[in-house]
Amino acid sequence: MADPNIQQLAERVNSDAWLVHRGRYLDVRFLVASGTDQYVIEIHKGRIDSIEHGPFVMPRWTFAMKAEPDVWEKFCVSHPAPRFHDLMALIRFKTLLLEGDQHPFMANLLYFKDVFACLRPLEISL
């Protein structure tokens, strides 16, 4: 996962009123790992409050999403290939590992799919 993409995530999510509204009941702290890079993302009422970059000694999180950097690179393109187009596809094909309490993730699946779609480049229509 490219570092500039993850740092822009809070700005992109928090500026999308519909996405924030969709996650208005969600309060969670989760870990995203890309190889040895780790990020703890804290969401409060659908807004990303913080993104902390590791390494961490003992991070506190509800669930963790772990994948290799090449998997995140394939996911973060504007038109990803099959198997890399969706978080559930990554989980299904065992390229993304979901650990911990999966309930907040699954209960807010569409929200998380849209949040992680914000990692992709913005398309400009002419």
The answer to whether residues 104 and 97 touch, using CB atoms and an 8 Å cutoff, is no
Q: Looking at the chain, how many residues does it have? A: 126
Does residue 2 register a pLDDT over 60?
no
Phi-psi domain of 83 (left: phi exceeds 0; alpha: psi -120 through 50; beta: other)? left
Does residue 115 register a pLDDT over 90?
yes
How much is the pLDDT for 126?
Answer: 57
The answer to whether residues 31 and 61 touch, using CB atoms and an 8 Å cutoff, is yes
Does residue 4 register a pLDDT over 70?
no
How much is the pLDDT for 121?
Answer: 85
Helix (H) or strand (E) holding 3: helix 3-14
- List the domain boundaries for the chain: 3-116
Q: How many helices (H) and strands (E) are present in the chain, helices listed first?
A: 6, 5
How much is the pLDDT for 85?
Answer: 92
Architecture of domain 3-116: 2-Layer Sandwich (3.30)
- Each residue's pLDDT tens digit, 35-82: 899 999 999 999 999 999 988 888 899 999 999 999 999 999 989 999
